[in-house]
Structures are given as structure tokens and as C-alpha cells.
Amino acid sequence: MENRITKLFTTKDKEILSIYFTAGYPDLNDTETIISELEKHGADLIEVGMPFSDPVADGVVIQQSSEIALDNGMTIHLLFEQLKEIRKHVSVPLILMGYLNPVMQFGIENFCKRCSEIGIDGTIIPDLPLEVYETEYKTIFEAYSVSNIFLITPQTSDERIRKIDGLSSGFIYMVSSSSTTGAKDAVDQEQLAYFERVSKMELRSKRLIGFGISDKHTFQRACSYANGAIIGSAFITAITGEGRIEGKVRQFMNKFES
Amino acid sequence: MNYQSDDKGYYGIFGGAFIPEMMHQNIDQLQNSYLEIIGSESFKEEFKLLLTDYAGRPSPLYYSDRLSDHYNAHIYLKREDLNHTGSHKINNTIGQILLAKRLGKTRIIAETGAGQHGVATATVCARAGLECIVYMGAVDVARQSPNVEKMKMLGAEVRAVQSGSKTLKDATNEAIRDWINNPVDTHYIIGSVVGPHPYPDMVARFQSVISEEIRVQLKSKVGRETPDYVIACVGGGSNAAGAFYHFLNEPSVKLIAVEAAGKGVDTGESAATTQLGKPGILHGSRSLLMQTADGQVIEPYSISAGLDYPGIGPMHANLFTTQRAQFLSATDTEALEAALYLSQKEGIIPALESAHALAALNMIAFKPDDIVVVNVSGRGDKDMETFLNYYQSVK
Ligand SMILES: Cc1ncc(COP(=O)(O)O)c(C=O)c1O
């Protein structure tokens, strides 16, 4: 079957809105509802976070949602259970995002197999470095048609970006600044230079910008440098607190309607 | 058998560099330059001079008459407690600050558990005139307060970490996050043989002065360079790595690593990683790790802040699985009793961490002519409150 991420980019390659949330947060069984509501209200792509006890690349918002999700009882096993039927009613690309250790304990091959059975299109595993992926895991991911998505940052050299471009099958995740997730978005000269540098490289892969995108304004600005952008911490903050989950998701997504 | 890391930082199946892309530039730079920098003549000279004139090395190898009598073997104490700042941690921070200067870094971050590594980092930063920020779990800030005060006096900023179990693991997470957010001007001085390659190998090399000296000192005292036993405690494993280093390929030397059993290995309140852990990835390397079946890291427990860590360095994971080293564990109470014993028999108050190594003397059947070296990794000043609470409670 054609990978849904590739398909998405052939039908739309501007202003792609991707939303991240942590599975098991705010409530253990919100996963399917959040995904459905996000799709209904215009998300083009959804990243489902697999919570980890020690998320070193994450800022305080995702640290806290992860901690609560784990306290609620979220595991990779349970997440796959919750997502088992998801393809009956959801068609946007779904990506699982999380740290390597829980995936390793689940078993890499087993994990990829479950992804492919359920209809998960890709993974983002920040602490799985390119070199290890290439030598140890690439063949397994490819065998199950799971696209592993790599990050680049303002520090990443052109040479390395080229290499990542060559290995990417979904898109390239452009981390907007040198930071953990949820950092304040302040566009500075350095960041613009980085966006422009990467734009000029004419990569074969599509690019989404993430980290520090929080509202329509920052979203659109990011979109002028890439095919779209990813929102995480701001969405998690929006679904925190009182109220039904459907309403909170709708309210957040309404702000992006054009 | 080779017990050192290969050029990718692997010790057998353990080690490597499992880092997010945000750290790639810094780790790559370290990997490509550390051997050349620390192997250069100017570095070696400066390092040696500072170890001697600033840290006070060589640290004595002291023959303990009374422990020798008691255990019916020849017991030597390697006195890392006599180093400047009171532990072996200074060996590593001197090395890393010289490296950081050569890399042009102006801001230093560190994690600390017992505060010994924090103090040792604050110390070398003061001397080098570099900004210093130390992350320390809030629980440890409370139980090691003398060291917090020292770091402040030395001009460092101590940031109390409120996440997770508020101990060493969480302080390390926070230091890594800081580095991700400050990739250009900052060097991260990791305090043990943990973290992504090249840290485990680099820190082991800086600590290897311990076993280098033991060989020379034993030779002059007993006419041979190798003991029968070397005993050291293991938190992340840096003092043990240093004490074992030059004996790794001497099969006649039995290497004993002592972990913190906390309230007992099977009580659910323990930090005995080799007994409770399985292969996993934390803080940038693959090693043994205390974790749930789902791969979530388990909060460890030990009365000793420096041993309260859910993993061990990859070198030690490999020494354990290849059975090159024997791993024992000592409970809180065994360590406290061993600290009291050494204090009253030899007039040496050891750090709570080191007391775990001393406690292992009770667990081994020595032969009368065995030569045993116990690495006394630090002094107990920072632990006085914990000691007093315990001794008053059992009186
Ligand atoms: C005196 C002392 N010994 C041992 C340790 C444990 O660390 P490592 O296992 O890296 O030597 C510490 C850590 O804080 C310490 O302060």
C-alpha cells in the first residue's frame, strides 16, 4: 500500500498542519477521540507521542504530559490496542513519536510489524541516531514500510543534511532552533539564515518545521520556509484543564481555519 | 579479551552514542578531537601539573594495620578522600576543564548527586574563570547541603531539579536539556563513566591515574605492581573505572565492584543495577538499566546520593556480563556500619559511597597473604548529618 505520508505530500505540499499529542494524556483513553477530532478539524498529519520516563529532548510541557500519561498507565502495548481499529475511520497519516528504550524493549521488529498491521505510517525516535538506524534498523523499517523521520537543527551541517535527505522516506523534521520542545518562538537572524540555507539546498524530501510553533501566526511564518509545521506543546497546553476533550481540540483547531 | 571501548565507543554490546540530533554537533566534535587533545604533550603536561600541585596527587596508598588484622589479609586504602575537594571527582573535572578550554567553550554545566562532582566542577571553573551551572536533584540538595553551600561559595549556580525522583538521574536529564538549548558556548562535564561516547572512555582515562599510582605504590611497598583484589563502589562507575583501569588485562587481579543495595536488593528500594537491570538506553548509551517491562526507567533508591542511579557505565556492564569483575552489593545499613568501623579503627571518615566498598570486606573470604586495595573514593564530611541520624537512632 502507498505510504500515507508520501500520498499526503502529493496532494498537498503547502501549509501542512501536523499536531503532536502524548498518548494517555489527559486521560488514558483519550487517544482515539483526540485523533478523530484532530482529523475532523483539519489536521493533515498526526504525531502520537509514546510517553517515556526520561524525555531529554522535551521541555516542561511534554515532560509533564508524559509523566501523567505514564501514571495513567499508558504503555506501547496499550497504545497499539487503542489504535487497533483506527484505520476504520481515520485516514490522515499517523506517526508514532517516542524514545528508543521503550521501543527497544517492545522489540524493534515486533514494533514495526504492529505499526504496519495497524496502519501507522512513520516513526520519530529522537535518540535513535542516523548512524545506528542505517546500520542496524533500516532494513527492518523498510521491510514493514514504516518511514523513520529524522530531525535536523540549526547546528546540522549541509553534508549531514544531504545524508539525512538521502535516507528519508517521509519528510525531514526541521527543529526550528537549538532547543528542547516547547521553547519560546523568537525568530532571530540565525534562525532565518538556517531556514534559508536549508531552502536553498533543494532537497528531495519535504520539510516540516517544529518546536516553538504555537498559533496561526507562528504557523504561517514557518510555512513560508517549509511545506508545513508541527505543533506540540501548545496543543498539549490547550487540552489541559477542565472541559470535554472534543471541545478543547475543536477550539484549538478552529484558530487555524482560514 | 579487550575491556576498553572500540573506536565507536562500544564495550562489547554496551556503549555507543544514542543522542538526539540536537546534540550531534557537540558529541561529534568531542568524538573527533578528544584523543588528539588529551594525548597532546601540552595537555598531558598541564594535566599532570594540576593533578600534582592543585589536587595533591599522588594520593597515598595507606596500609591499614587494623583492618588487615580484622580481615586477616593485607588491606591497603587508596586515599582519594585526601584529594582537593575530597574525592576522586577532581581528577575528571581537571581533565575536562582543560579540554573545554581547548575547545573554546566559555560556559560549563554539570549534574551532581552527592555534590562531590558539583563541587569539583565548581572548583575548576573558579580557577579557569568560566561560568558554572550545576544541576542537582531537589532531594540531593537537601541531603547534601554542605556541598551546595560550597558550590555557591565557589561561584557556581546550583539549580535544584524538581522532576522525577529529584535525584541524580533527573539532574542528568536537566543537564542534557541545558546542553541542547545551549549548544555553542557550553561544555557538559559529565561526572562519571556514563553518557554517550566518548564520555565513558574519556572519563575513565582521566580517572585511570588512580590505578597507575596504585601500581607504582604497591611496587615500592611490596615489590609487585598487582594486588589480588581491587574493591571500589559503583554509582556510574568512575572511581571503579579508575581503580580497575590498569588491571583490566591482569587476570590475577580480582576486580570487585560494589553497588548500593539500598534497603535490600529485593525490597523495591535499591540501586543494584546489575542485579535488577537489563540492557537498555539512558543518557546516551546502551548499558544495564533498571527499568520496567515497558522500558520505563525505575527510580532507584540508596541512602548514598552518589550511588542513587538506575544505570552503570557501559564499561562496567561489559565487565559484569563478561564476568571480568565481580559485582557485590551493600545495603544502607552495611555501609553505615562500615563507615563507623573505619572511623573508629583508623580515624578516617569515609564518604557514604566509599563505605559501600568498605562493607564488601565483610563479604569476601580472603587468604592471609592476599593484597587487597580498597578505593576510598571520598571523605565523609558531606554525610555527617546522615551519619549522626543513624548512629543516634541505633544507640
Ligand atoms: C565519594 C564518591 N564516591 C563514589 C561516587 C560514585 O560515582 P562513581 O561511581 O562515578 O565513582 C560518588 C558520586 O557522587 C562520590 O561522591
pLDDT tens-digit series, residues B322-352: 999 999 999 999 999 999 999 999 999 999 9
**What is the H or E stretch that residue B245 is in?**
none
pLDDT at A3: 87
The finding on whether B117 has its CB within 6 A of some atom of ligand 1 is yes
Q: Which residues contact B190 (CB under 8 A, 6 or more apart)?
A: B110, B111, B172, B175, B199, B203
Flag whether pLDDT at A236 surpasses 70: yes
Q: Tell me, in angstroms, the distance from the centre of ligand 1 to residue B307's CA.
A: 7
CB pairs under 8 A between A and B: 107
Q: What is the mean pLDDT of residues B339-366?
A: 98
Q: How close does chain B come to A127, measured CA to CA in Å? A: 4
CA distance B85 to B254: 29
User: For this structure, is A71 an active site residue?
Assistant: no
Chain B CB within 8 Å of residue A53 CB: yes
Flag whether pLDDT at A1 surpasses 60: no
pLDDT at B328: 98
What residue has cell string 581503580? B243
Q: Which residues contact B191 (CB under 8 A, 6 or more apart)?
A: B89, B92, B93, B110, B111, B112, B113, B117, B118, B120, B121, B203, B236, B238
Nearest 5°: phi and psi at B88? -70, -15
pLDDT in tens, B139-181: 999 988 999 999 999 999 999 999 888 999 999 999 999 999 9
Q: What is the mean pLDDT of residues A56-64?
A: 96
Q: Whose CA is nearest to atom 7 of ligand 1?
A: B235
* Under 8 Å between Cβ of B137 and B165: yes
**Reported ipTM:** 0.96
* Under 8 Å between Cβ of A200 and A161: no
* Under 8 Å between Cβ of B287 and B15: yes
Task: Give the dihedral of Cα atoms B233, B236, B237, B238; nearest 10 deg.
Answer: -110
Q: Which of B386, B377, B134 is CA-nearest to residue B235?
A: B377
For residue B141 the three cell numbers come to 540538595
Catalytic residue among A39, A58, A165, A185: A58
Tell me which chain A residue has its CA closest to the CA of residue B176. A56
Chain B CB within 8 Å of residue A140 CB: no
pLDDT at A36: 98
Whether residue B198 is preceded by a cis peptide bond, meaning omega within 30 degrees of 0, is yes
Q: Tell me, in angstroms, the distance from the centre of ligand 1 to residue B239's CA.
A: 6
Average pLDDT, chain B: 97
User: For this structure, is A44 an active site residue?
Assistant: no
Flag whether pLDDT at A14 surpasses 80: yes
Q: Which of B76, B144, B373 is CA-nearest to residue B245?
A: B373
Q: What is the mean pLDDT of residues B39-68?
A: 98
pLDDT at A108: 97
The finding on whether B192 has its CB within 6 A of some atom of ligand 1 is yes
CA distance B237 to B315: 8
CA distance A51 to A63: 9
pLDDT at B165: 84
B6, B290, B294, B299: best to mutate for the A interface, most A CBs within 10 A = B294
Catalytic residue among A37, A47, A165, A185: A47
pLDDT at A185: 63
The one-letter amino acid code at A64 reads Q
pLDDT in tens, A137-173: 999 999 999 999 999 999 999 999 999 999 999 999 9
For residue A209 the three cell numbers come to 518545521
- The ligand 1 atom at the shortest distance from the C-alpha of residue B352 is 1
Q: Which of B257, B259, B250 is CA-nearest to residue B214?
A: B250
Backbone CA torsion sign across B226, B229, B232, B238: positive
pLDDT in tens, A131-146: 999 999 999 999 999 9
Identify the weakest region by mean pLDDT among A180-189, B101-110, B295-304: A180-189
* Under 8 Å between Cβ of A167 and A134: yes
Q: Provide the percentage of residues in chain A whose pLDDT is more than 90.
A: 90
Query: B38: pLDDT confidence band, cut at 50, 70 and 90?
Result: very high
* Under 8 Å between Cβ of A125 and A148: yes
* Under 8 Å between Cβ of A165 and A172: yes
CB neighbourhood size of B115 (10 A): 29
Q: What is the mean pLDDT of residues B93-100?
A: 98
Flag whether pLDDT at A178 surpasses 90: no
Q: What is the mean pLDDT of residues B100-107?
A: 98
Chain B CB within 8 Å of residue A110 CB: no
pLDDT at A188: 76
What residue has cell string 502520537? A48
Compare CB distances from B21 to A76, A150, A180 and report the shortest one's residue: A150
Q: Which residues contact B305 (CB under 8 A, 6 or more apart)?
A: B113, B114, B115, B139, B140, B143, B144, B167, B168, B352
Chain B CB within 8 Å of residue A180 CB: yes
Flag whether pLDDT at A258 surpasses 70: no
For residue B6 the three cell numbers come to 572500540
CA distance A163 to B148: 45
Tell me which chain A residue has its CA closest to the CA of residue B293. A105
Sheet hosting strand B278-282, strand order edge to edge: B10-11, B14-15, B285-289, B278-282
Q: What is the mean pLDDT of residues B67-81?
A: 98
Q: Ligand 1, from B78, B84, B89: best to mutate by most atoms within 8 Å of Cβ?
A: B89
The finding on whether B95 has its CB within 6 A of some atom of ligand 1 is no
CA distance B188 to B166: 20
Flag whether pLDDT at A183 surpasses 80: no
Compare CB distances from A155 to B25, B176, B291 and report the shortest one's residue: B25
CA distance B365 to B324: 18
Flag whether pLDDT at A61 surpasses 70: yes
pLDDT at A190: 84
Q: What is the mean pLDDT of residues B224-248?
A: 98
For residue A69 the three cell numbers come to 500519561
Q: Tell me, in angstroms, the distance from the centre of ligand 1 to residue B7's CA.
A: 26
Exposure class string for B313-326: b at 16+ Cβ within 10 A, else e? bbbbbbbbeeebbb
CA distance A207 to A99: 21
* R_g of chain B, CA atoms, integer Å: 19
CB neighbourhood size of B104 (10 A): 9
Q: What is the mean pLDDT of residues A112-120?
A: 98
Secondary structure in 3-state letters for chain A: CCCHHHHHHHHCCCCEEEEEEECCCCCHHHHHHHHHHHHHCCCCEEEEEECCCCCCCCCHHHHHHHHHHHHHCCCHHHHHHHHCCHHHCCCCCEEEEECHHHHHHHCHHHHHHHHHHHCCCEEECCCCCHHHHHHHHHHHHHHCCCEECEEECCCCCHHHHHHHHHHCCCCEEEECCCCCCCCCCCCCHHHHHHHHHHHHCCCCCCEEEECCCCCHHHHHHHHCCCCEEEECHHHHHHCCCCCCHHHHHHHHHHCCCC
Nearest 5°: phi and psi at B115? 95, -10
Flag whether pLDDT at A50 surpasses 90: yes
* Under 8 Å between Cβ of A109 and A140: yes
For residue A164 the three cell numbers come to 539525512
User: For this structure, is B145 an active site residue?
Assistant: no
pLDDT at A211: 87
Q: Which of A18, A33, A85, A28 is CA-nearest to residue A51?
A: A28
Query: B91: pLDDT confidence band, cut at 50, 70 and 90?
Result: very high
The one-letter amino acid code at B210 reads I
Q: Quick check: B295 and A103 CB within 8 A?
A: yes
Q: What is the DSSP letter of B268?
A: T
The model carries a pTM of 0.97
Backbone CA torsion sign across B317, B318, B321, B323: negative
pLDDT at A186: 65
End-to-end CA distance of chain B: 50
